Structure 1
Amino acid sequence: MTRTKMFARLLSVRWPNTFATIHRPCYLCATAPSMMCHRQPMHRTTSIMCVKRPLTLCRDIGLRIQTRWPSCASGQRTIQPSGCGNMPGNWWSNCHSASKVIPTSRRITISTSLPMDVLLIEDLSQQRLPAHALAAVLQQAGLRTRLARFGADQDADEVVRLAERERPRLVISSILFAHRVPEHLALITALRRASVRDHLTMVGPLPSFAFAELLTACPALDSVLCGEAEASVVQLVTSLGDPARWQAVPGLAYRSPTPRGNPLPKPLASLDDLPFPVYDDGLPIRLGYGFATVEGSRGCYHACTFCLPCAFYRAGGAPHYRLRSPAHLVDEMEALYRRGTRLFLFDDEQFLPPGHTREERVAALRHELQRRRLRIAFTIKCRADDVDAALFRQLKEMGLLRVYIGVESGCQASLDLLGKGVTARRNAEALAVLDSLDIVADFRSLLFHPWSTLETVRADISFLHNAVSHMATCFSFHEVEIYPGTPLANRLRAEGRGEGGRWPLPYTLADPRAELLRRLSRFVFSPSGAHAGIQDLLTQAWYDLLLQRHFRPVRFEADRARKLKAIATGLNAQSLHVWREMLAFAGEGDIYDADQVNERACAWASRVCSFRVRAEGELAERMSPKEFLRNNFPFYPRAV
């Protein structure tokens, strides 16, 4: 085989990432290239692709090779080798004169990917910001990053293969929800078993508080980066070559040999100093409109006893509530708008600032949007005591479609225990105001907490019954999850409760009848069952309708909105009827008759399934087949 044919065959092979072996010496010449070494792109783990051999081949057949360089602003440079031999010294300048002997008709272009520094793993389908924000900070520092999707339906093997192929220096597992922690730990273990030798770390509010448990439970996990990761993640990446340096990174927890944590990094002084989150993986689109998650603030000025994000920001020493300036926030929104985004999902724990400043902030945001002629739609999260008719009328005119409102409970005893600082009556008034403004409201009912009784649950169900006429979405029934760092966790531990060492802390209700009701709720209204399925369908239908009403009012059908609300009202009424039956059985039935309990539970679950079938039929009657099929694929996150 001639050298020309042999090199052509080499070019047709799908070689691994050029920079994947950046810190590994060439097998043939034992050269250990540095980051900026010009010979680096030619180094491979195979001797055929040694720096010396391909240059000689290029000289013989006259090829022009284009490859990417980390120091090149345009992303490409041209290597033009001629009779350079082994290329001692500054071989780039020695080769510079070769272009005149290279036939243009025989040029071959090799496009090789840039070195991978960090692989960020997160459930990107949830449309949350942590991974995108971290990627922006890393890229601003000149580090190459990639986002890896790891959803509930995602195969961990795909992430493992990606890590093996890219060989990043650091792998970051971003935890959004506690129930996904076991899956992330299993993924980290699988990465290590697959001979991925990179540094494996974890970030998020829960890992920040539970780093000792996580490091003990998962030997494959190298560290946990606590606090606001943006403040120290770059220092971690650049220190990985020296254990003494990376173990001194602020906020880093590691084994020495038992788990220990460094003092948290200094809080970010201003949110305006952070770069905009990156969306290298593209923006999702619905009905031709792009949508993206944005963050106008961090933290919260309230003190709910169960809230993990609030405990997280308070523990970091930062102000309890920090705002971005309206101009900086709208700068990001405008950049996303130019990319096709029209729906903005605000992920703030508390969208509105306290007191009179909220009117000033809304006015400033409105001015910026009007000045730049941005016609948008958006959703927010807020509390019941934030809802004011005049203020929310302005927000609706600005494009507010939907509100995730922190009602949590309609039982005053439970509201006081959760530290909400609001009355059940105020919760009811807020729902009524939003309904009068034709703004769709959504909330989670936290029916159970460690001190629940049948009376507290009965009060919640009564509250929901009175709120049925104001709701255009399905009720969702949940339990309070107890996370580390929160006042509820401290109280539960002080009482000697909270069985086991995992998070959220498991607990059992003191009243066995209330505990039975709680277990019936898990079975009948399972988060992965029929009730949750119809919630998804209605969520998609409402988003489609609200987007159409806002951006295409001529095509909006008011009757369809009334029918959607009627479906939700009917479902809520039927669900509450099941709840009243369950309450009656838990209060007076023989709760120790296992056969009877199981029989009743199956009957109630079957009725909930029939509700979904009936609702799907009603939705199908009111939509075109194309619309119904589209809404059977959940696309927007529910309230969290």
Structure 2
Amino acid sequence: MDGEGVRQALLVAPSYDHAEYLGAESLGIRSVAATLLDEGARVTVVDECPAEPPAEVLRMAGQSSLIGIGALFTRQIPDALALARTFRSVSPDAHITIGGQGSYSLWPRMLEECEALNSACLNEAEETVSELWRHVIAGESPASVRGMYLRLGGELLFTGPRAPTEDLDALPLPFRGGREIAYADSHVTLCTSRGCAAHCSFCQSGNYANRHPGAPRWRYRSAEHVVDEIEHLQQAYGARMFSIVDDDFLGGDGRGIQRAQDFARLVRTRGLDIRFAIECRISELEAALLTTLRDVGLRHVLIGVEAANDADLRLYAKRTTPQQAAEAIALLRKSDIEYSVGFIMFQPLSDLGGIRTNLDFLLANNVGSYRRVVNRLEVYPGSPLIGYFRRKQVHFREESYRMYYDFQDPRVALLYEAFVKLLKPFEELESTAARAIFRLRAEEGPAELHALRRLTEVTENITRALLATAYRCLQVAESGGVPADDKRIVAYAAGRVDELRNVLSP
């Protein structure tokens, strides 16, 4: 650090793997940043920081008393640890801590593997980091700060659990500094609730990372608090399009429905002209509520279908049925709301029969995308699914905090390879159409609505062509062939892609 009494904090999120995830601002560390600002700290936030940070970030690290690294995804951990080591080289006296949903259950391991780290924050970190900050700038041991694993005297100390914040309205709004250029397209993300009432076995957030004894499984900000933030973001940044990134905007019970209705009423009363997207469970969708929300700007809903065959639905603990999923999709179409579906086509024990059932569902409802159709179950270190699969003789290889596995059925392995190879060109078409729809949604005048209808039809044709290609691959795999090498499928896919690309061209 440059001298005594420096009161600066640096919060960093490692870069995302864009082959798997879309990049976004790091709302978790930005919420922590807001609490530090309330403590009087000077705070800098860096989203998507590369493992070899630029000189300006290193300069800020050298001036910081506290450096926090947030890993939303487990696969970010190797880069997060690399950043910790680099920051330690330029800031030998700073307290460096790590946290985030992706680090769940891995806290001691990260500290053991990376001596540059002083601590790891468990679960939600706003109150923990605020208290940690006070100890750091006072030069005191943070051993009394609950909610951490701490390196102390050569040993690792668990400081005890910290209850999550139940009154989310009491937290300051996330710090948005440095995002002005990113907000130039009027699109902003925000979080209005935490947790999920579901028990999906594959999910870090709902199944185990957001479980706190004695606390509600779903905690939420009031409708008024959320609309206040939207109004602020409109005034400060000109934001009109909002992606609400809650795991479940509707919460799983009557509280969430009432809050959504209150939200719509406030948006209407204040005359806010916005467009927004949400995520929720298929069992929560109601026609009247969708109509109410669409009237005040709801334009997209992400629903988690995940599978259509019984074996996978039981494995994922979805507690929903394909019929419910089909009804939810039909309801969204009838409500004139765009949607996307979460889907996990492959898992270690997949068989061709289960994949056929999955594809039959997608074809019947004309839903799916490249990323969904090739999606294979990701099993996280610490996940309860690991024990189940090991009992089924699935062998995992761990590398850089990622769990790798082979499919037990070699025909499924061949089918997966074919999907990745032959369906990949459709992703470019999907992205082109999605970007165009995003631009048109910003205005929604008569000309834009006409163009939207045309693009929606093109998007549906892209989905049909992708699924038809996938089905051809499945048929070849079922007959014992190698679908990736089937010249008829290769020619069919290439022809459809060229045809649809021409339709999308200006």
Fold equivalence (TM over 0.5)? yes
Mapping of residues 546-561 of structure 1, within 5 Å? 546-549=441-444, 553-558=445-450, 560-561=451-452
Cα distance in 2, alignment partners of residues 159 and 455 from structure 1: 54
Of the candidates 421, 426, 439, which is equivalent to residue 324 of structure 2? 426
Letter in 1 for 2:2: T
2:120 equivalent in structure 1: 224
Mapping of residues 150-229 of structure 1, within 5 Å? 150=48, 154=50, 156-158=52-54, 161-163=57-59, 166-193=62-89, 197-229=93-125
Offset of 1:374 from its aligned partner? 1.7
Q: Say if 2:65 and 2:137, in contact at 8 Å, map to a contact too.
A: no
Letter in 2 for 1:387: L
1:376 equivalent in structure 2: 274
Q: If the length of structure 1 is used for normalisation, what is the TM-score?
A: 0.71
Letter in 2 for 1:21: D
Unmatched tracts of structure 2, length 5 or more: 17-22
Offset of 1:546 from its aligned partner? 2.1
1:269 equivalent in structure 2: 166
Task: Label 1:284 to 1:194 Cα distance change in 2 as closer, same or farther (>3 A).
Answer: closer
Offset of 1:248 from its aligned partner? 3.8
2:457 equivalent in structure 1: 566
2:433 equivalent in structure 1: 538
Determine whether 1:479 maps to 2:376.
yes
Letter in 1 for 2:466: S
Of the candidates 148, 169, 173, which is equivalent to residue 252 of structure 1? 148
2:40 match: secondary structure: coil
Offset of 1:541 from its aligned partner? 1.3
Residues 464-517 of structure 1 show CA distances to partners (whole Å, capped at 9, x for unaligned) of: 11111x779985531121124543234235556452445443223222222332
2:467 equivalent in structure 1: 576
Offset of 1:146 from its aligned partner? 0.2
Q: Which one scores higher on RCO, CA 8 angstroms, separation ≥ 6?
A: 2
1:239 equivalent in structure 2: 135
Determine whether 1:617 maps to 2:484.
no
Mapping of residues 50-65 of structure 1, within 5 Å? none
Q: Say if 2:193 and 2:249, in contact at 8 Å, map to a contact too.
A: yes
Of the candidates 215, 232, 250, which is equivalent to residue 318 of structure 1? 215
Letter in 1 for 2:285: V
Cα distance in 1, alignment partners of residues 369 and 403 from structure 2: 33
Cα distance in 2, alignment partners of residues 115 and 452 from structure 1: 54
Q: Say if 1:131 and 1:174, in contact at 8 Å, map to a contact too.
A: yes
- Deviating more after overlay: 140-149 vs 609-618: 609-618
Task: Label 1:439 to 1:576 Cα distance change in 2 as closer, same or farther (>3 A).
Answer: same
Cα distance in 2, alignment partners of residues 214 and 590 from structure 1: 45
Q: Say if 1:306 and 1:488, in contact at 8 Å, map to a contact too.
A: yes
Offset of 1:242 from its aligned partner? 8.0
Residues 556-588 of structure 1 show CA distances to partners (whole Å, capped at 9, x for unaligned) of: 342x22321232222222222222232233333
1:403 match: secondary structure: strand
2:12 equivalent in structure 1: 120
Cα distance in 2, alignment partners of residues 461 and 295 from structure 1: 33
1:454 equivalent in structure 2: 352
Unmatched tracts of structure 1, length 5 or more: 1-19, 24-34, 36-113, 592-596, 622-640
> What is the aligned-residue RMSD (CA, Å)?
3.0
Cα distance in 2, alignment partners of residues 498 and 235 from structure 1: 42
Task: Label 1:241 to 1:378 Cα distance change in 2 as closer, same or farther (>3 A).
Answer: closer
2:323 match: secondary structure: helix
Offset of 1:250 from its aligned partner? 1.6
Offset of 1:415 from its aligned partner? 1.6
Q: Say if 1:171 and 1:200, in contact at 8 Å, map to a contact too.
A: yes
Cα distance in 1, alignment partners of residues 447 and 117 from structure 2: 54
1:142 equivalent in structure 2: 40
Task: Label 1:270 to 1:608 Cα distance change in 2 as closer, same or farther (>3 A).
Answer: farther
Offset of 1:197 from its aligned partner? 4.7
1:585 equivalent in structure 2: 476
Cα distance in 2, alignment partners of residues 255 and 496 from structure 1: 37
Cα distance in 2, alignment partners of residues 188 and 610 from structure 1: 49
Cα distance in 2, alignment partners of residues 163 and 209 from structure 1: 32
Offset of 1:532 from its aligned partner? 3.3
Cα distance in 2, alignment partners of residues 570 and 334 from structure 1: 38
Cα distance in 1, alignment partners of residues 228 and 177 from structure 2: 18
Residues 367-393 of structure 1 show CA distances to partners (whole Å, capped at 9, x for unaligned) of: 222332222211100111122222111
Q: Say if 1:267 and 1:317, in contact at 8 Å, map to a contact too.
A: no
Q: Say if 1:548 and 1:555, in contact at 8 Å, map to a contact too.
A: no
Offset of 1:171 from its aligned partner? 1.7
Cα distance in 2, alignment partners of residues 518 and 585 from structure 1: 12
Letter in 1 for 2:79: E
Residues 578-633 of structure 1 show CA distances to partners (whole Å, capped at 9, x for unaligned) of: 22232233333256xxxxx7645x98678656655544432223xxxxxxxxxxxx
Task: Label 1:522 to 1:237 Cα distance change in 2 as closer, same or farther (>3 A).
Answer: farther
Letter in 1 for 2:189: T
Cα distance in 1, alignment partners of residues 198 and 191 from structure 2: 18
Letter in 1 for 2:443: Q
Offset of 1:416 from its aligned partner? 2.1
2:388 equivalent in structure 1: 491
Task: Label 1:598 to 1:515 Cα distance change in 2 as closer, same or farther (>3 A).
Answer: closer
2:20 equivalent in structure 1: none
2:19 equivalent in structure 1: none
Q: Say if 2:147 and 2:160, in contact at 8 Å, map to a contact too.
A: yes
Q: Say if 2:370 and 2:427, in contact at 8 Å, map to a contact too.
A: no
Offset of 1:451 from its aligned partner? 2.5
Residues 112-168 of structure 1 show CA distances to partners (whole Å, capped at 9, x for unaligned) of: xx85233333559413411211111111111111011325xx472316753466521
Q: Say if 2:26 and 2:47, in contact at 8 Å, map to a contact too.
A: no
Task: Label 1:119 to 1:322 Cα distance change in 2 as closer, same or farther (>3 A).
Answer: closer
Q: Say if 1:120 and 1:135, in contact at 8 Å, map to a contact too.
A: no
Offset of 1:321 from its aligned partner? 0.7
Residues 380-425 of structure 1 show CA distances to partners (whole Å, capped at 9, x for unaligned) of: 0011112222211111001101111111122232122211111001
1:506 match: secondary structure: strand
Q: Say if 1:299 and 1:313, in contact at 8 Å, map to a contact too.
A: yes
Cα distance in 2, alignment partners of residues 119 and 606 from structure 1: 49
Letter in 1 for 2:320: V
Q: Which has the larger radius of gyration?
A: 1
Task: Label 1:259 to 1:451 Cα distance change in 2 as closer, same or farther (>3 A).
Answer: farther
Cα distance in 1, alignment partners of residues 317 and 431 from structure 2: 30
Residues 338-358 of structure 1 show CA distances to partners (whole Å, capped at 9, x for unaligned) of: 221211211111111334444
1:9 equivalent in structure 2: none
Task: Label 1:556 to 1:157 Cα distance change in 2 as closer, same or farther (>3 A).
Answer: closer
Aligned-residue sequence identity (percent) comes to 25
1:299 equivalent in structure 2: 195
